[in-house]
Structure 1
């Protein structure tokens, strides 16, 4: 009865705001890497594009091996501590320490040592982000009484992430210039970002620490299942495997778009490489506008329907966005970018909800942490593949640091901007249709679902 009453009352603005602050802090921890690290390594550290792509990718392949054990171990820590919140906060503090080291150029003359340094920092950062991300997603289930409240928490987390990403894209060029530009400017910018992360994590902790939890998804037996048996059980869940393929493909497409934006900005539009708002701004604003549509879309269409329609529209919107960019038609870039952002926002929440619902339907199987570990691994693997693809394609066309602007280079970079993201987007569309074949009907909660007109 109390659970039902809690569902009717809603989850509370204080808790929603705190969860959104954590989503903001998570973005601050990792958004700069896919957007600017490839450019930083090629232009300031003077590492070849293909080697810089490997630097971005190598730690993520390590994640493939360790993310599932880390996810499983996070459940064991939660069982011992009685809460996931402490694990989330400590991993967030580690991310605050590692972010400035990511954009620091150590005084090393040996290129192998430079590569080893950046790979090591990326490995540590990616591992801490896995711990933080797994516990953050699992907390959405712990803090919610039903799937409707959980979707509201996820939406608020995405809202915080979207607002922060927009602010980051707008402020980064100014922060780099105020820091003196070049390598020093990048390092100073990350220190300001760390201060913002500290504020957001403090807000999150103060809002959530006394909140009631509903840890129905956490059981000692599932957390103690052996890692080998757990991985085998995860891989037999065909619907979840299809979602993993979607996540990897979508991450690869997003990684390509993010990694190539600085080059497109400089060689297609003739702008400063760091001034990314013209390219990223419409997509980010669209993502913000799409968030209020996500929960009603999931209620009406379900996970499967939202994903199928969303990804088809995403492909069409991306092609329009690229066509406007390649031809220099800024209004087309802006309109198509907003549409692309709206659909990605709705489909992204639907994808997370589909993962949690698919895990929920697999009763008696591996722990939630193990599933979410693979989920985080797939996300980071996709983003890293985007960096590998971008670096490889740039090397393929013969790009080098400080290359002069020519018509031939303009056409080649424009072609990379189409092929790199489009191929994985098409793979994601195919995997979504396969997910619809394997997935079970969506489970419903015993609690009454709020009306579509309800706001949060």
Structure 2
């Protein structure tokens, strides 16, 4: 089907205030996705003395918890929308509770020992993950309800990704810099956790203001729709699987996004190790993130323009291929490590902007397409499964890195103790940051080929009387 540009309906254009408030929520999503993925495994292995394999299992266990609760939160959010006309309640609860749990995650001192420290980090991070899911699942559902315009969704999500990439820079570069500002690493992690948790919570709280009375899917502003009866947990999970079974575009897009979350999660978990053991400076992780996010900030409007011209799915494929090539070039650091790595990371950053904005702009199209077939009121079900899939990808990324470290003989230590890593461990670090993400990204192009929705399908369906 044609991807030629069609005129956007003026009636669906979002106000600048709505776009800005929604985008600010990415301070929360960017912070939560970036900082734990970047430093939590390293915090466990190189500050608390936890073995690399155990550290990876801790991070994975918390993410598995996300997978369990996200579909339940999605179904509960749909019921809240039907009952009250808004998804705001869950979002505010997550925003108010996350800062405390996030700070506690990094408050464990090495003096407690690796076993007690690992258990405490696990419990605190499980609570943090719960708070984040309460916000994130309804937050991702909002674009499908705020506008039904194909290009307007790209605009909304494009500005969100501008804030997201800025948040990645803020947390990915500023978090480790704050941690290293003093001479005491234990206090540094605590200060980092408190400051980051507060910024994440504030961003979430601001974005919750966009979840006002719904005017989509037949609801009248300020008038709650009839609330469906609460269903057993089993039915709530089955509703997510039914959505996957009946929506071919959702299966294709989710499969693509899951593989890409695994690829970027692998790079994210390996970045601190690359900085410390390949670039030989713990502080170099700041420059890695500047190299990634600086180009991404500039590239996001360009990806939005490209998507308007050739369609989201084709622009998404181009961004994916560019990221795979950039990651693959970093493999050369096995033989010739050096600052040239920043150049490859910068090219990946240009692609990363597209990888963030385009699939998130395609998800509302998938939801609205399903509504025409199965009826409205199931956006939370879709976003619950989507968020769970994203979580699986990032969780397995940390697991892949920890397994690679364990298999190549990486030596864990506690704060203040210097060690020398074997050559095999350093090679494993490079490969987990380069060739593994490249292969996963290439695989995602195969699933993307099966995504069949085009601009025509969305714009024609959005016309009055369609």
What's the TM-score, normalizing by structure 1? 0.86
Alignment of 1:333-344 (within 5 A): 333-344=341-352
Does residue 1:170 correspond to 2:173, yes or no?
yes
Q: Deviations over 1:275-299 (max 9, x none)?
A: 4122222211122122102322222
Does residue 1:215 correspond to 2:216, yes or no?
yes
Residue 5 of structure 2: aligned partner: none
Could you tell me which of 239, 256, 267 is aligned with 2:249? 239
Q: Deviations over 1:206-243 (max 9, x none)?
A: 6x47x775322887688978425513422313332232
Residue 267 of structure 2: aligned partner: 257
Cα displacement (A) at 1:342: 1.7
Conservation of the 8 A alpha-carbon contact between 2:80 and 2:87 = yes
- The whole-number CA distance in structure 1 between the counterparts of 2:140 and 2:424 is 45
Alignment of 1:315-334 (within 5 A): 315-323=324-332, 327-331=336-340, 333-334=341-342
Cα displacement (A) at 1:188: 0.8
- The whole-number CA distance in structure 2 between the counterparts of 1:108 and 1:220 is 55
Structural RMSD (CA): 3.0
Residue 459 of structure 2: aligned partner: 444
Residue 452 of structure 1: aligned partner: none
Conservation of the 8 A alpha-carbon contact between 2:265 and 2:397 = yes
Alignment of 1:103-122 (within 5 A): 103-105=106-108, 109=112, 111-122=114-125
**What are the ranges of 5 or more consecutive residues in structure 1 without an aligned counterpart?**
449-456
Q: Which moved more, 1:387-396 or 1:283-292?
A: 283-292
Residue 92 of structure 2: aligned partner: 89
Cα displacement (A) at 1:5: 4.9
Residue 286 of structure 1: aligned partner: 295
Pair 1:157–1:189, CA change in 2 (3 A): same
Does residue 1:383 correspond to 2:394, yes or no?
yes
Conservation of the 8 A alpha-carbon contact between 1:75 and 1:223 = no
- The whole-number CA distance in structure 1 between the counterparts of 2:344 and 2:228 is 45
Pair 1:4–1:356, CA change in 2 (3 A): closer
Alignment of 1:65-104 (within 5 A): 65-104=68-107
Residue 453 of structure 1: aligned partner: none
Could you tell me which of 155, 169, 194 is aligned with 2:197? 194
Residue 13 of structure 1: aligned partner: 16
SS for the counterpart of 2:458 is coil
**What are the ranges of 5 or more consecutive residues in structure 2 without an aligned counterpart?**
1-7, 220-224, 413-417
Pair 1:308–1:404, CA change in 2 (3 A): same
SS for the counterpart of 2:171 is helix
Q: Which moved more, 1:70-79 or 1:232-241?
A: 232-241
SS for the counterpart of 1:327 is coil
Cα displacement (A) at 1:32: 1.0
- The whole-number CA distance in structure 1 between the counterparts of 2:206 and 2:64 is 33
SS for the counterpart of 1:125 is helix
Cα displacement (A) at 1:428: 1.4
- The whole-number CA distance in structure 1 between the counterparts of 2:279 and 2:182 is 25
Q: Which moved more, 1:191-200 or 1:109-118?
A: 109-118
- The whole-number CA distance in structure 1 between the counterparts of 2:333 and 2:239 is 47
Cα displacement (A) at 1:271: 0.8
Could you tell me which of 150, 159, 164 is aligned with 1:161? 164
Pair 1:306–1:116, CA change in 2 (3 A): same
Aligned residues: 439
Cα displacement (A) at 1:39: 0.3
Residue 32 of structure 1: aligned partner: 35
Does residue 1:227 correspond to 2:236, yes or no?
yes
